[in-house]
């Protein structure tokens, strides 16, 4: 009976979604004429290269046009890692035997992960440093770095990341982001205004504050994801 | 029935996106194990992201990056896909991660308290 009800609900939801999507043609150019800028997307595509000298338009949207939104987003990540720590915290009772949930890994995995761990860190750093030139950016690079730490945690059970270092990295990156925003407010008119020279298109040092903010976001995301993984993997349970 | 490119692609891409949303919703509503419910939430997330990206796609469009290769394509009359849905999905993926992490921690907490993660076996939910 309950299953039937759920299937009925799913049919209603599916039907309404399908009828809504009937009017949206796949692959249709909805930007309008690129020259007369009727949509916000056309504005971004037309003006990003001249006004910000950033080749990756998505980076320009995420960090510059919607920079305040990204600041909120990294705060949500920070809240998630904070909430995870406080929800999972528990006092250690005396005489309680605790077992780790991870099983010992083979020597092959241990040797191999030691070999590729620096390469993963370098790839992550490359992705967030070149976030304004190539696909990728702070969030993606930070996630790549966190996967490197995940590999090390899976391979070595006694691998520990120092939480105080993570907190410092995270706080400094967050302060850099907010501080650059306030600096723009002091020097210009608005929060997160671009106050540095924008340079030439497709150079590493171009785009003003955008690469700096994305590098800070990369460090912040890497520290937060590593902290979350460390908290979740090191849950000890009663024997 | 003759189907052209647009119809095939819209059935395929929109259909799989809506299908993912429905599968996730089914898992959330029917499954009893809390971990499976969290997985269902993640599947709904994936479907919504796919739908967003599909709406922003333009036929024959390239990635909205003005690297030398991208500029050459635009100079030859090519188009770039809509960058706004991609930026929104970047935000949504990160928020989805945060939601999954907090939900999983709540599941772990419930498991510790009740020694089970199946909602039909948690007695205090019944009245």
Q: Where are the domains of chain A?
A: 53-89+114-239
Whole-number Cα distances in Å, A47 to A37, A43, A162, A198, B17:
10, 6, 44, 13, 32
Contact A66 B87 (CB under 8 A): yes
Which of B26, B82, B95 is nearest residue A41 as measured by Cβ atoms? B82
Residues in chain B: 127
Report percent pLDDT > 90 for chain A.
Answer: 44
Q: What's the Cα-to-Cα distance from B52 to each of A60, A174, B11, B57, B92, rounded to whole Å?
A: 19, 29, 15, 9, 10
B54-58 average pLDDT score? 89
Q: Tell me the C-alpha distance between A78 and A181, whole Å.
A: 18
How close B97 comes to chain A (CA, Å)?
Answer: 8
Provide the 3-class DSSP secondary structure of residue A43: helix
- The Cα–Cα gap between B33 and B116 comes to 9
Alpha-carbon span A231 to A20, nearest angstrom: 42
Distance CA A29, CA B55 (A): 10
Q: Do A84 and B101 touch (CB under 8 A)?
A: yes
User: What's residue A100's pLDDT?
Assistant: 64
* Closest residue by Cα to residue B65 from B53, B52, B74: B74
In chain A, which residues have their Cβ closer than 8 Å to the Cβ of B105? 83-84, 87-88, 231-232
A201 conformational bin, left if phi > 0, alpha if psi -120 to 50, beta if neither: beta
Domain of B15, in residue numbers: 5-125
Residue A236 has pLDDT above 90, yes or no: no
Euclidean distance between the first and the last CA atom of chain A, given in angstroms as a whole number: 40
Contact A87 B106 (CB under 8 A): yes
CA distance A187 to chain B (A): 28
Contact (CB, 8 A) for A58 and B83: yes
Selected for mutation to probe chain A from B44, B81, B101 (highest A CB count within 10 Å) is B101
Is residue A56 classed as helix, strand or coil in its secondary structure?
A: strand
What local confidence, expressed as pLDDT, does residue A239 receive?
47
Helix (H, G, I), strand (E, B) or coil at B14: helix
Contacts 24+ apart (CB under 8 A), A103-109: A104/A157, A105/A154, A105/A155, A105/A156, A105/A157, A109/A154, A109/A155
* Chain B residues whose beta carbon lies within 8 Å of the beta carbon of residue A14: 18, 22
User: Of B11, B18, B53, which is closest to residue A15 (Cα–Cα)?
Assistant: B18
* B66 to A27: CB separation less than 8 angstroms, yes or no: no
Q: Which residue is it, tokens 């922003």?
A: B56
Q: Which of B12, B84, B109 to mutate to test the interface with A (most CBs of A within 10 A)?
A: B84
**Residues of B with CB below 8 A from A81's CB?**
101
Distance CA A83, CA A235 (A): 15
CB B57 within 8 A of CB A38: no
Which tops the pLDDT comparison, A204 or B36?
B36
Determine the number of helices (DSSP H) and then strands (DSSP E) in chain B. Answer: 5, 0
CATH number, position B36: 1.10.287.3510
The shortest C-alpha distance from A94 to chain B (Å) reads: 17
pLDDT digits (tens, 9 = 90+) for A208-229: 889 999 999 999 999 999 999 9
As to burial, measured by CB atoms within 10 angstroms (0-12 exposed, 13-18 middle, 19+ buried), residue B84 is buried
Judging contacts by C-beta atoms under 8 Å, the chain A residues touching residue B99 are 80
Q: Which residues of A touch B94 (CB under 8 A)?
A: 73, 76-77, 139, 221
In the DSSP assignment, the letter for residue A132 is T
- Per-residue buried b or exposed e for A210-223, using 16+ beta carbons within 10 Å of the residue's own CB: bbebbbbbbbbbbb
Confidence tier at A188 by pLDDT (50, 70, 90) = confident
User: Distance (Å) from the C-alpha of residue B42 to the closest C-alpha of chain A?
Assistant: 16
Give dist(CA A43, CA A72) in Å, integer: 24
Quick one: pLDDT band at residue A15, thresholds 50, 70, 90?
very high
* Selected residue with higher pLDDT from A138 and A92: A138
Residue B89 has a pLDDT of: 94
CB-CB neighbors (< 8 A) of B83 in chain A: 41, 44-45, 57-58, 61
Tokens matching residue B99: 């939601």
Residue A102 clears pLDDT 80, i.e. is over it: no
Contacts of residue B22 in chain A, CB cutoff 8 Å? 10, 13-14
- Please answer yes or no on whether B102 and A83 come within 8 Å at the CB atom: yes
Q: How many independent structural domains does chain B possess?
A: 1
Using the predicted structure, report yes or no on whether residue A29 has a pLDDT greater than 50: yes
CA distance B41 to chain A (A): 15
Q: What is the pLDDT of residue A161?
A: 87
B118 bridge partner residues: B33
Token pair of B92, please? Answer: 């949504």
Largest Cα–Cα distance in chain B? 69
Predicted pLDDT of residue B88: 92
The secondary structure element, H or E, covering residue A238 is: strand A236-238
A239 DSSP 8-state letter: -
Reported as a pLDDT band with limits 50, 70 and 90, residue A6 is: very high
- A48 interaction partners in chain B (CB closer than 8 Å): 66
């Amino acid at each position: 009976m309950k299953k039937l009800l759920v299937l009925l609900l799913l049919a209603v939801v599916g039907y309404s979604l399908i009828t809504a999507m009937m009017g949206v043609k796949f692959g249709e150019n909805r930007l309008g004429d690129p020259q007369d800028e009727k949509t916000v997307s056309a504005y971004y595509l037309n003006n990003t290269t001249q006004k910000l000298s950033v080749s990756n338009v998505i980076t320009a949207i995420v960090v510059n046009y919607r920079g305040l939104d990204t600041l909120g987003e990294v705060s949500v990540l920070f809240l998630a890692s904070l909430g995870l720590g406080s929800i999972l915290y528990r006092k250690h009772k005396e005489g309680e035997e605790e077992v780790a949930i991870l099983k010992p890994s083979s020597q092959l995995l241990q040797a191999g992960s030691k070999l590729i761990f620096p390469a993963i860190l370098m790839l992550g750093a490359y992705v967030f440093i070149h976030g304004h030139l190539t696909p990728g950016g702070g969030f993606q690079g930070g996630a790549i770095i966190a996967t490197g730490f995940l590999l090390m945690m899976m391979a070595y059970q006694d691998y520990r990341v120092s939480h105080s270092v993570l907190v410092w990295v995270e706080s400094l990156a967050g302060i850099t982001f907010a501080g650059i925003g306030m600096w723009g407010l002091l020097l210009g008119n608005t929060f997160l205004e671009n106050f540095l020279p924008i340079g030439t298109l497709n150079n590493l040092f171009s785009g003003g504050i955008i690469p700096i903010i994305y590098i800070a976001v990369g460090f912040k995301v890497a520290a937060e994801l590593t902290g979350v993984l460390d908290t979740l993997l090191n849950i000890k349970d009663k024997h | 029935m003759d189907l052209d490119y647009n119809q095939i692609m819209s059935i395929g891409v929109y259909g799989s996106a809506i299908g993912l949303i429905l599968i996730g919703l089914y898992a959330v509503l029917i499954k009893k194990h809390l971990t499976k419910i969290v997985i269902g939430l993640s599947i709904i997330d994936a479907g919504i992201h796919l739908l967003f990206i599909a709406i922003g796609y333009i036929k024959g469009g390239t990635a909205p990056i003005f690297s030398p290769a991208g500029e050459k394509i635009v100079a030859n009359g090519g188009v770039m896909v809509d960058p706004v849905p991609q930026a929104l999905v970047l935000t949504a993926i990160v928020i989805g991660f945060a939601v999954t992490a907090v939900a999983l921690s709540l599941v772990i907490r419930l498991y510790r308290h009740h020694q089970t993660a199946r909602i039909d076996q948690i007695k205090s939910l019944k009245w």
